Structure 1
């Protein structure tokens, strides 16, 4: 048998072997994680963009609630300072810091949205109702995007750890597991909301 014939016979075997070791599936799975991360980032950005409008709407009704407004504004600024790129998704400390900052913002928003209980006129303000509805919808979208991201991370991490893809993941890509989002510490406890309206 000539060398050319041997190469022709070995080429399909080599192609199947490479395909079976994750040469294409690992980057595809990683791109899926990155896409889900991008979707989650856009939801966080939408929430961040809505908050100043909600704060301004509430200011006119709740001058004495400046502490709540200051906390929301500070939490938004803090959340904006903690950056996390797709390249950082395999660093547990960076993911945890980002998650904690976003969780603090979520907790800061809750009293702001409940101000309508203390200020009945606020319930009838269309700007407030629209903004509150948009933020609630965005919070729901964030939950869905986080779930989708975590599912993509699980699929990616499983792929890079199981045979035969684990071979290509390590040899060709040096793949590291991505970090899923977890609930922030204390997330199971409801925040204390007190507007001192009892007289």
Structure 2
């Protein structure tokens, strides 16, 4: 009888822990959907990244389906805008078996100005860049972001310097939003609501 009760307790604890969902795990850098292996998770998650090159070219989309490891990073949207492109991320979480199998619906891009203008620049293989172009922040971008350091690019850690607009979520949760960055040495990240660094006209 005691053994039976112990088994029931273990099963109950496992269910409460939420580690019994079956989720899809995959990644596609050229398509908003992917198919992959089934894995056991507490919560299923899908992240869609949209890149708008700002030069008239078509937007590109990529997707990653996996387990969610941080309950605060669920059902959110955040973005970063620079002088040459902007990137928006949409994160969806769900709690039923294989619920992240289908491609998620992505809302239209919010291009309403926030009234904030930030200095903007981007330079690969460099620790600094000259912000010679202003960029208008849109949607929920309410911070000016300055980043310098190593960032994962095509599976490798590469040095980049960036200035532009960002959602507050990026500033407060950088390590959670970009978990691959843990593979690279920590860079310098600074956010402000002020256009503290002037751009060169």
Q: TM-score, normalised by structure 1?
A: 0.28
Q: Whose relative contact order is higher, 1 or 2, with alpha carbons under 8 Å and at least 6 apart?
A: 1
Larger radius of gyration: 1
- Bigger share in helix: 1
Q: TM-score, normalised by structure 2?
A: 0.28
